[in-house]
Amino acid sequence: MTDIGTILFTWWCGQLIGEDEFGNKYYQDKKKNVRGIFRRWVIYKGDVEASKVPADWHGWLHHTNPEPPQPRKRYYWEKPHQRNLTGTVYAYRPKGYYKPIEKKSYEAWTPR
């Protein structure tokens, strides 16, 4: 969840640039900073998770691409963007990942 300070800063200093297919909104400053560039940021829809930013928008956020991404035709071999699923129930688990707990074949040491 976005904190109140970020929301107020965005309302006061931000200019909405665009929104991606996941509902994340991208902003930049209304004025250039002392280095002559616009500061850019994202307001996430739902969980704040950096891996939810698609590659096109990631390039814009980090000033790799000067212009925000435009909708384009995707090639048949391109997979849709998917956030990092590590630590969730949807994470990849190879065959043999789950092994039932076996009975202990040893006796734990106890001090006397």
The Cα–Cα gap between 17 and 103 comes to 59
With the C-alpha atoms ordered 91, 96, 101, 107, is the resulting torsion angle positive or negative? negative
Q: What one-letter code names the amino acid at 12?
A: W
Placement of tokens 């106890």 in the chain = 110
In this prediction, residue 53 carries a pLDDT of 94
The Cα–Cα gap between 51 and 20 comes to 13
In this prediction, residue 56 carries a pLDDT of 92
In this prediction, residue 91 carries a pLDDT of 87
Can you give the pLDDT of all 112 residues of the chain as single tens digits? 678 888 888 999 899 999 999 999 999 999 988 888 899 999 999 888 899 999 999 999 999 999 999 988 889 999 988 889 988 888 888 887 776 666 767 777 888 7
In this prediction, residue 7 carries a pLDDT of 85
Q: Give the CA angle between residues 82, 84, 86 to the nearest 5°.
A: 140
